Structure 1
């Protein structure tokens, strides 16, 4: 009987250890690829690395490669990435009077630089990113290099490893087009709030040529439409004319991305069209992009803006900033 009880106890302990290891492994994996962000179906994780700034993972699924940072997907070699790149690049390029110099803050592995380099007028692209490992992947990881046409290797591209704000504070250069493609600010990364603040946008204004244009990625607005409204208000406070737009992935990918076009003079958005051949920005799509659906037209106090001293955008994304939506 004693032997039996000991055996049961040992067995129970073994089960607890196994379940503990399974739970630990799952938590560890989720820190690299969150379950809700994982590719559909079976996928293979081919790389995990903790860089100086974040946990990086690359997964492959049916020939598509997905790049994750701290569990969230930041890039993939698929149609959705092509659509996103066209939306964030070709709208400001069409709005700007000239397109000789472009600044990309949050250049990543080079997908936005790829689209920028398609313009013959381009003389220089300044690609700023904080994480050297991400940039290195854009330069050397074959699936990414193939997808971006080796954009970061182009002699017209100057890669800068720095925080985007610190870089601008040290630089006196100006650009025709500025593209801001950054992760969402959060309580986990509070420093990112200062790359969405009215103080930062005023700095951008001083670095933009008079006929220039800026595009800013505004997260998945299908889950947080107030986020787009807050960024729009912040840009207006900084002195920009702002046109919000969106790319509705709902049918294919179940998300809707928001963007803001910021200029120093008013722009008629319905007059904008790509200046070079593109795959996805059709005439019908362009019209839809600038006609915001009802759920994105939230009421917003124009005095509620992101500053260097608050966490407004993080509060919105965390669901802690409550606003009464119109009926």
Structure 2
């Protein structure tokens, strides 16, 4: 029989590392931090890699899949954008996507906005993470802002060549996140794009909830964007297929997209494939709905899965 103290310890652990997202290999918790926004765990794996958890689920880390994700998030919108001087990133407190943006020599200014100062501090000061992101958040071209992304964009009249949004899915535990996925917010982003600019949004796991991905696509279209959904199939390595979307105020064609810097995982020869949504997801893909400031479309989808 498990005594009460052990049960309490397990329950407390699950607040920081969910059963579903617990590492397969042995690990050690380096830090547990409760912030006004989430419960953060810094975890070191047996192989030396580090994972950062938020409310029980992996947010980012120093693993190969973080590199693949960062390339997918950054290099598609940077290929679509006609200029690459001023970049806005909402989320990305780990600095990994910022590292990729800094590979473009013409970038003059990167603004990274995160609501949680602790996440940003980890990206700036946690040694394994700073080594992995190459000190990106401490770079002179980078300005970090601790603020809600929606509030920042509403009050800031600047225009950006690329806007990269990498934040968690809205849920019933965090309903306010829907305001960063809504038609109203996307209309605002459209006004904040410089001519020829591009927006990209992380759309969770296509293989688990394709209707989540298609609902973001439909919401962007309702806001007046031209969109290209894309995905990164890592089923063999990680058992997942990741969804993304790139959007602009002009028509987009996959055939005209050319990567502008060398990449390790995202290859020009595979661009046609990543812009083709597999047939096996199409049935649920048709079940899209529009996310607004007032409804809970994406949270409801997330809850079902």
TM over 0.5: yes
User: Number of residue pairs matched?
Assistant: 303
Preserved contact between residue 95 and residue 272 of structure 1 (Cα < 8 Å): yes
The reply to whether residue 101 of structure 1 matches residue 86 of structure 2 is yes
Aligned to 1:127: 112
Match of 2:20 among 13, 18, 36: 36
Aligned to 1:272: 257
Preserved contact between residue 227 and residue 316 of structure 1 (Cα < 8 Å): yes
Query: How far, CA to CA, are the matches of 2:187 and 2:42 in structure 1?
Result: 36
Aligned to 1:46: 30
TM-score calculated relative to the size of structure 1: 0.90
Preserved contact between residue 259 and residue 268 of structure 2 (Cα < 8 Å): no
Preserved contact between residue 225 and residue 295 of structure 1 (Cα < 8 Å): no
**What secondary structure is seen at the aligned counterpart in 2 of 1:297?**
helix
Give ranges in structure 2 of 5+ residues lacking alignment: none
Match of 2:286 among 280, 297, 300: 300
Q: Spell out, residue by residue over 1:52-98, the C-alpha distance to the aligned partner (whole angstroms, 9 max, x if none).
A: 21100011111110000000100010110000000010000000000
Task: Name which one, 1 or 2, has greater alpha-carbon Rg.
Answer: 1
Preserved contact between residue 33 and residue 57 of structure 1 (Cα < 8 Å): yes
The reply to whether residue 64 of structure 1 matches residue 52 of structure 2 is no
Match of 2:272 among 283, 287, 295: 287
Q: CA deviation at 1:20?
A: 2.0
**What secondary structure is seen at the aligned counterpart in 2 of 1:35?**
coil
Deviating above 4 A after TM superposition, structure 1's stretches of 4 or more consecutive aligned residues are none
Query: How far, CA to CA, are the matches of 1:170 and 1:138 in structure 2?
Result: 25
Q: CA deviation at 1:300?
A: 2.9
Aligned to 2:186: 201
Give ranges in structure 1 of 5+ residues lacking alignment: 1-14, 321-327
Query: How far, CA to CA, are the matches of 1:97 and 1:259 in structure 2?
Result: 20
Query: How far, CA to CA, are the matches of 2:6 and 2:265 in structure 1?
Result: 43
Query: How far, CA to CA, are the matches of 2:11 and 2:280 in structure 1?
Result: 35
Query: How far, CA to CA, are the matches of 1:248 and 1:25 in structure 2?
Result: 37
TM-score calculated relative to the size of structure 2: 0.97
Match of 2:135 among 133, 150, 156: 150
Preserved contact between residue 211 and residue 287 of structure 2 (Cα < 8 Å): no
Query: How far, CA to CA, are the matches of 2:186 and 2:108 in structure 1?
Result: 25
Preserved contact between residue 150 and residue 185 of structure 2 (Cα < 8 Å): yes
Preserved contact between residue 306 and residue 312 of structure 1 (Cα < 8 Å): yes
Match of 1:74 among 59, 72, 82: 59
